[in-house]
Structure formats: C-alpha cells, structure tokens
Amino acid sequence: MLYIDPVACVDCGACVSACPVGAIVPHSKLDAAQLPFVEINASFYPDRPADVKLPPTSKLAPVIPAAQVRTRRRPLTVAIVGSGPAAMYAADELLVQQGVRVNVFEKLPTPFGLVRAGVAPDHQHTKHVTRLFDRVTEHRRFNFYLNIEVGRHVSHAELLAHHHAVLYAVGAPDDRRLDIEGMGLPGTGTATELVAWINGHPQYATLPIDLSHERVVVIGNGNVALDVARVLTADPDELARTDIADHALRAFRKSAVREVVVAARRGPAHSAFTLPELIGLTSAREVVLDPEDQRWVHADLASVSDPLTRHKLEVLSGLGDGSAPASRPRIRLAYGLTPQRVAGERRAAGVEFSVTATGAPRHLEAGLVLTSIGYRGKLIRDLPFDEAAAVVPNDGGRVVDPGTGLPVAGAYAAGWIKRGPTGFIGTNKSCSFQTVQALVADFNAGKLTDPAAGPTALAELVAARQPDLVDSAGWRAIDAAEVARGTVDGRPRRKFTDVADMLAAAAAAPQEPSRGRRLLARLRSS
C-alpha cells in the first residue's frame, strides 16, 4: 500500500500521473468499495488522538445546505476569476461540498494559466497537473466561461449579483521591470515574455525573438531564469517532442546561441533558484562557473550552515570553470554583477555591469538581454490594490479595504494576486484552501448575499456580452484538436497560438451551433 501524508500533500498530482497503472486516485474520487481505504490509510498515523475523526473527503467546514437556512434560498455559488492552479484548486475544494456551484471565468479561450503558458515545455511532467484540473472541470456543478474578460465583458458588480462570492485567482500577469538605460532596445525583453512566447500564449506569439547572436544574458537567477537558460540551450530535437509552440521550435532550430549567462547581483549563497531546479539543470546541461565565482562558492561553504543552501553550494562547487571548449550550448552562472545599462545603439549588444562589491565595470557581450527579476500583480478593476506589494490587500484571502480595514463583502483572492509571485504550483493548494475556508465560513455565517438571479440569467448575460464564449465542451474540443495535431508528430499536443484558430476548434464541439445556448441548456437540466 502507498501512504500519502495528507498534511504534506499539496495535490500537485505528480504521483497520479507518475503511476503507470493509474492506481492512485484523489480521495474525492473514491467509490463506496474503496472508502474503507481512507480508514486504513488513516491508521498509519501512530499518534492520532482517539477523539480525532478520520479526515473527511474535504478539510473544509461543511457548507450549511441552503434548505437549513431560512433566509437563504440558493446553494453556495462562487465565481472564480482566472483558471490557473490557484483557481482550479479553489474550485476543487468547493466542489467536494454538497450542492456548491462554481463558475470559472478566464479571458483566454484556453484554461490553466501558467501551467499552459508558464511551465517550460521540457517540463511536461509538471504539466500533468492538468489531469487533476480536467477532472475538476468534469464536475456537473462546474462551468467554464472562457474567452470572457472580467472588467470588460462583465463587471465585478455583475458577477457578484449572480454569485454569493467572487474569488480572484488571476495571478501576477505583469513582469517586474528593470529600470536601466537601454532596456526597451530591440534585443531586450523579459524572461517571462520569452516563456509565454515559447509556450504559444496568443498575446506573445508575434514577439520578435532574435537568436542570431552567440550569447544571451539573463539578469536574475530565480527558477524562471533557469527555465529560459535550459530551453535556450536545449537540443531542438528534444523540444520537438514537447508541446512547444511551432514558431518557437522553428526559431530554436536556427538558433546561433552557444552560451547563456545567468547573472545574479548577489553571491552564490543567495541564489534564488531552488535546489531541485539546480540539480535538474546540472544533470541536463553543461553548467559552468568562472574561477572567481568558484572561489566565492567555497568561501560561502565555509560559512553557511542552512542545509538547503549548503546543498546548493555543494552542487555549485562541483561545476567546471568552462575553460574547455564546449561541444554543446552551455550555461554560465555568474555572481556579484549589478546591471547598469544595456549597451548598443539600435539594438542590444551587451550589458554593462558593475561588480557589486567593488563597483568595477564589467561588460558582457550579448545579442539578447532578458531580465528575469520576478512577476508582478496587476490592479483589478473595482478592487483595492496594494501598489508596493502588487497584491490585492487581503486577510487570509478575504479582500480588505485598506482605508477601513474591513472586508470587501463577497470578494476573495487566492494565489499570486493574494500572496505575491512566489512558490511552485502546489503551493497554491494550501493558499486556495485558506481562502475557500474563509469564504465558506462567511457563507455559513450568513454574510454573503444570495445571488439576485439564477444560473440561466448569468449564462444569458455572458452570452449576450461575448458571442464567442467558450464553454467546457468548447475547451474540450480545442484540447482534442491540439492533441490530435500533436499525435501526428509524436508530440503531446500542437498548440493553437491564435485566438481565431482556438475559436474555430471550439466551434467544432458537439451540439453546435450556439455555445451560449448549449451552456444554457446544460444549466437548465442540472
């Protein structure tokens, strides 16, 4: 038997997809015959106090059924804005509860946020978390409203009028910008834009990416920087087996890039990348360090006690100095370099750094300069915004008016727009859980106003505002078309990168002609 610790588990789904025989299923999907295993698994807690009940299928306080509350007529109905991991984990938590309805609104015709557009294509395994999300979307009380932009097609007030609560899980869609001279020249950009281009995000599909120079400099050394360095130095035949966008694959096949320098302003002990990503990188690519950085690593090793940092330093200490000629494109990790300006007249020709400790100038020639200094949240219309932290001010997920310190009725946040752009996919599991817990507590306490109209009124409103609405069946048609296009070349999928192509594929979903009508029919029957 396999034991999964329910406290440590973040439902990332990796074990589910890794199991070759499909023997691992989420607790919420156990059938009656399998339920005894909940108890058997729970008995593995040696020190579980006798009075603690077995874990329920959801850790949430149960939603009080509408019928038991005199003033309440409608079952809990929640709008979730955004469809990335935080949104889908929140939907999953809510749908485990009896009778709760969830409508997910997403501005693209395709769901799953950064899992589709942010995870590097050579990390297909990470993208398997969408299998968990697919199961959530199949729930009969779940609806997708894709290709709908909240703030444009429908307002916050309109959503709130049709739901008890609106939960924003919109992520951090902007980049932190590095304000130095020369950024903005052709040949400069951000790593997150490059990742979106590689992943076929329709908004970035036409980004001019010039790979005709031997060197790329990436400023910042977080996991995003490692992702782009790894993909920029990958064998295109390897990438051709992934879901990378066709335009990116074509560009990589012609790439002249031989070296990617990942430049950090601080020292090795402050590397922002995580240990697993460093180990993954060094096992897949030639990664080198200049001799002076090697010496710095050894000096740090002598003084640092934190075990994780020490482990990173030990991996770094085993890297070569790059003096031997490289047979394949390689990655150079560089430390103590503060970017001053991008060199070049009409386009980027390199980066002028100052050595952080001494101020001495250091020039690195490059044809592409990418900043990778983090994502940034964006103001949501009609909600308060904390400019400094670039998050929606909140208390454990309840949106708070910073003027009064009071919760904004019916408004909630989860994921990066709640806590800032840190953590991996699974971190959103507990983050969303906390928000859903607050939301359900407010519902149970009678603090959330019943929607003014039923689900069909919402579907009618949305269909009237956006005739090109894509529903769950539409998304499944897009998904199936992409997978079919990929199968021909032995790829997991070949993505559509143009919204018009996505809409054409969605229109091929069964029960056409009207997607709005299909959704309405489904809502009326459920």
The residues that touch ligand NAP, with contacts defined as CB under 6 A, are 178, 219-225, 227, 264-266, 270, 272, 274, 277, 339, 372-375, 421-424
* C-alpha atoms less than 13 angstroms from C-alpha of 26 in its C-beta half-sphere: 22
**CA–CA gap between residue 211 and residue 127 (Å, rounded):** 26
Minimum distance between the CB of residue 341 and ligand NAP, rounded to whole angstroms? 12
CA 233 from chain centre, in angstroms, equals 23
Cβ closer to ligand NAP: 75 or 268?
Answer: 268
Burial of 39 (0-12, 13-18, 19+ CB in 10 A): exposed
Would you call 308 helix, strand, or coil by DSSP? helix
Minimum distance between the CB of residue 155 and ligand NAP, rounded to whole angstroms? 30
Minimum distance between the CB of residue 12 and ligand NAP, rounded to whole angstroms? 10
Cβ closer to ligand NAP: 223 or 430?
Answer: 223
Closest CA to 63 of 448, 369, 322: 448
For residues 44, 45, 50, 53, the Cα torsion angle rounded to the nearest 10 degrees is -80
DSSP bridge partners of 73: none
Cα separation values, 282 from 55, 199, 299, Å: 40, 23, 21
Minimum distance between the CB of residue 209 and ligand NAP, rounded to whole angstroms? 18
Q: List own/partner pairs for 305-310 with CB under 8 A and 24 or more apart.
A: 308/275, 309/269
Cβ closer to ligand NAP: 45 or 424?
Answer: 424
Minimum distance between the CB of residue 311 and ligand NAP, rounded to whole angstroms? 16
Cβ closer to ligand NAP: 415 or 474?
Answer: 415
Cβ closer to ligand NAP: 63 or 180?
Answer: 180
Is there a contact between 350 and 197 (Cβ–Cβ < 8 Å)?
no
Burial of 323 (0-12, 13-18, 19+ CB in 10 A): exposed
Q: What does the DSSP assignment read for 91-150?
A: HHHHHTSTT-EEEEEESSSS--HHHHHTS-TT-HHHHTHHHHHHHHHTSTTEEEEES--B
Cβ closer to ligand NAP: 60 or 225?
Answer: 225
Q: What does the DSSP assignment read for 170-185?
A: ----EEPPP--BTTTS
**CA–CA gap between residue 103 and residue 455 (Å, rounded):** 10
Cβ closer to ligand NAP: 335 or 496?
Answer: 335
Minimum distance between the CB of residue 224 and ligand NAP, rounded to whole angstroms? 3
Q: What does the DSSP assignment read for 257-299?
A: --EEEEE-SS-GGG--S-HHHHHHHHHHS-EEE-HHHHHHHHH
Minimum distance between the CB of residue 172 and ligand NAP, rounded to whole angstroms? 9
Minimum distance between the CB of residue 336 and ligand NAP, rounded to whole angstroms? 10
Minimum distance between the CB of residue 491 and ligand NAP, rounded to whole angstroms? 21
Minimum distance between the CB of residue 227 and ligand NAP, rounded to whole angstroms? 5
Residue 484, token pair as written in the block:
């079919």
Q: Are strands 375-376 and 368-371 parallel, antiparallel or unpaired?
A: unpaired
**CA–CA gap between residue 149 and residue 138 (Å, rounded):** 22
Cβ closer to ligand NAP: 75 or 222?
Answer: 222
Minimum distance between the CB of residue 220 and ligand NAP, rounded to whole angstroms? 3
Cβ closer to ligand NAP: 224 or 477?
Answer: 224
Number of residues assigned to the chain: 526
Please calculate the CA angle 33-129-32 and round it to the nearest 5 degrees.
10
The residue of the chain with the least Cβ separation from ligand NAP equals 222
Cβ closer to ligand NAP: 41 or 221?
Answer: 221
Minimum distance between the CB of residue 225 and ligand NAP, rounded to whole angstroms? 6
Cβ closer to ligand NAP: 277 or 471?
Answer: 277
Q: Are strands 337-343 and 350-355 parallel, antiparallel or unpaired?
A: antiparallel
Cβ closer to ligand NAP: 225 or 473?
Answer: 225
